[in-house]
Amino acid sequence: MIRVNNKFEVQWKPGMTIRDLLDEMKFTFPRLVISVNGEIIPREQWDTYELKDGDDVKVIHMTAGG
């Protein structure tokens, strides 16, 4: 299982990437920051970074306000 935002669990699959996880969870917000086990993963790596069973993923929506 992959834990997402300390609230959700997603079934891990071999070869699953961050992009696969975002698609499965239907995250579409344009400005996201992703961390895996406390490490920020650059957007350029989302299509190739393979998740491992048991990873702790944080998906943070970046917003602006005043």
pLDDT in tens, 10-49: 999 999 999 999 999 998 888 899 999 999 999 999 999 9
- The length of the chain is 66
The encoded tokens of residue 42 equal 């650059």
Please report which confidence band the pLDDT of residue 66 belongs to, taking 50, 70 and 90 as the band edges: low
Q: How far apart are CA 17 and CA 28, in angstroms?
A: 16
Sorted by sequence, the CB contacts under 8 Å of residue 4 that are 6+ apart come out as 10, 21, 25, 57, 58, 59
- 5: burial class by Cβ within 10 Å (0-12, 13-18, 19+)? exposed
2-61 CATH choice from 3.10.20.30, 1.20.1070.10, 3.90.1150.10, 1.10.10.60: 3.10.20.30
